[in-house]
Amino acid sequence: MGFVLIIIGLFFTFEPSFRALDFLPDFVGMFLVMIGLSKLSKIDENLRDARKNAKVLFWISFVKMFVAAWMNLGHKDYLLPGIFVFSVLECMFMLSFFRNLYVGTEYTLERLGGETHLEKVSSAFSMAMLFTVISRVLAFVPQIVRIIAQNE
């Protein structure tokens, strides 16, 4: 049940938000991930660290929701620094989260005799890490282009 909640929770974080409207809020997804990791974190210290990262990401995404709403109410001057700060924080903790989750999952699969699935799991985590970096960079780049266009 723990891995199912983790997958459902990660689905929330991979869903893009459109302006301030986020159909599947990231903090709900991270809460599901934390619940999924609560029992699994007793198996391996990496899963425990992944749970700690999920907890930090929960609070980052929770605060980000309110900051995004505040910026959409007319405080556009803080848009670029806000997106940059949240993108960097999310990248840092998401990459650490995925690394810990992968190592913990690898350990769990080895203990349970699921070595045949390790290559699939490795590919999935590599793609998740790549998606994390690209999505956070793509959230930031359009704002830089807009600033350059305004200054010309």
Q: Read off the pLDDT of residues 131-140 as tens digits, 9 standing for 90 and up.
A: 888 877 877 7
Q: Could you tell me the pLDDT band of residue 152, with boundaries at 50, 70 and 90? A: low
Q: What is the pLDDT of residue 22?
A: 64
HSE of 98, CA atoms in CB hemisphere, 13 A: 20
Q: Which of 31-35, 60-64, 128-132, 146-150 has the lowest mean pLDDT?
A: 146-150
HSE of 131, CA atoms in CB hemisphere, 13 A: 13
For 2-23, write each residue's pLDDT tens digit: 888 888 888 888 766 555 556 6
